[in-house]
C-alpha cells in the first residue's frame, strides 16, 4: 500500500466537502484523513514550511476553482503568535511539526455594539505533532495560536472557503475591540 499523500488528501477533502450535508459532518470526515497525512513526513514540500523572520507565515497549498475549500500551511518560529481572531467558517487543524499552544475564547456580548466585543478565555491547550482540532462558528471559532516551544512549528489547516480572502475579525481583549481583517497568503519564496 502506498503512503497517504497530499494528492490523496485533496481528493478526500473534495469528496467530503461535496457529499456531506453539515459543517460538523465535513469536520468529522476530514479530521481522520488529516491524521493520516500528518504521519507522512514528506507530505509538504519545503516551500510550504519556510519560516519568516518577522511574522508567522501562511502559505496556500491548494484551493479548487470553486473556492469551496482551501488548504493552508502555517509556519511559526519560536515566540511567534497570531492575533486573537475568528474564521467565520469551519476549519480543521493538524500539527505537522513541532508544538503549538492554542488559547480559545468565548464571546460574551451579543454583537450589537459596533467595534465592541467582550471575550473570556476558555483556557490554553498545547497541541503536539499529529494532534488535530477544529473551529466551527458560532461557538468554537475564536482563538489565538502561539509557538511557545524552542523549535519551529508547522501546521496544516483546511477551511470551508478561500480563507485568505474571507472577511474576518481580530479582537483586542483588553480594550474590548473587534476589527475586520483579511489575512491574505504569504507569497511563496521557493
Ligand atoms: Fe485560526
pLDDT single digits (tens) 37-54: 999 999 999 999 999 999
Give me ligand 1 centre to Cα 143, in Å.
6
Q: How far is ligand 1, taken at its centre, from the CA of residue 51, in Å?
A: 17
Say yes or no: domain 46-181 is CATH 2.60.120.10: yes
pLDDT of amino acid 19: 97
Reported pTM: 0.95
Segment 57-61 long-range contacts (CB within 8 Å, at least 24 positions apart): 57/186, 58/164, 58/183, 58/185, 58/186, 59/185, 59/186, 59/188, 60/164, 60/185, 61/6, 61/156
Whole-number pLDDT of residue 1:
57
Quickly list DSSP for 122-178.
EEEEEEETT-EEEEBTTTB-EEEEE--SSS-EEEEEEESS-GGG--EEEEETTTTEE
User: Rounded to the nearest whole angstrom, what is the distance from the C-alpha of residue 1 to the centroid of ligand 1?
Assistant: 34
For the chain, which residues make up each domain, given as ranges?
46-181
Angle between helices 23-38 and 6-19 (to 10 degrees): 170
The alpha carbon of 102 and the centre of ligand 1 are apart by a number of angstroms equal to 9
pLDDT tens, position by position, 141-190: 999 999 999 999 999 999 999 999 999 999 999 999 999 999 999 999 87
Q: Of 163, 146, 188, 2, which is closest to residue 92 (Cα–Cα)?
A: 163
The number of residues in the chain equals 190
Tell me: pLDDT of 2 over 80.
Answer: no
Contacts of 15 (CB under 8 A, 6+ apart): none
Q: How far is the CA of 83 from the centre of ligand 1 (A)?
A: 9
Task: Give the Å distance between the CA of 40 and the centre of ligand 1.
Answer: 23
Amino acid at each position: 500500500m502506498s503512503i497517504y499523500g497530499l494528492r490523496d488528501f485533496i481528493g478526500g477533502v473534495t469528496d467530503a466537502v461535496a457529499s456531506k450535508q453539515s459543517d460538523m459532518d465535513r469536520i468529522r470526515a476530514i479530521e481522520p484523513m488529516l491524521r493520516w497525512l500528518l504521519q507522512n513526513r514528506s507530505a509538504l514540500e519545503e516551500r510550504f514550511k519556510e519560516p519568516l523572520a518577522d511574522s508567522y507565515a501562511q502559505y496556500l497549498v491548494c484551493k479548487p476553482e470553486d473556492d469551496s475549500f482551501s488548504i493552508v500551511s502555517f509556519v511559526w518560529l519560536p515566540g511567534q503568535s497570531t492575533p486573537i481572531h475568528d474564521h467565520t467558517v469551519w476549519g480543521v487543524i493538524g500539527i505537522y511539526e513541532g508544538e503549538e499552544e492554542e488559547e480559545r475564547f468565548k464571546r460574551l456580548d451579543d454583537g450589537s455594539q459596533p467595534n465592541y466585543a467582550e471575550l473570556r478565555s476558555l483556557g490554553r491547550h498545547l497541541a503536539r505533532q499529529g494532534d488535530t482540532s477544529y473551529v466551527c462558528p458560532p461557538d468554537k471559532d475564536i482563538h489565538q495560536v502561539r509557538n511557545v516551544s524552542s523549535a519551529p512549528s508547522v501546521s496544516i489547516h483546511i477551511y470551508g472557503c478561500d480563507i485568505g480572502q474571507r472577511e474576518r475579525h481580530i479582537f483586542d481583549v483588553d480594550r474590548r475591540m473587534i476589527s475586520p481583517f483579511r489575512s491574505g497568503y504569504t507569497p511563496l519564496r521557493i
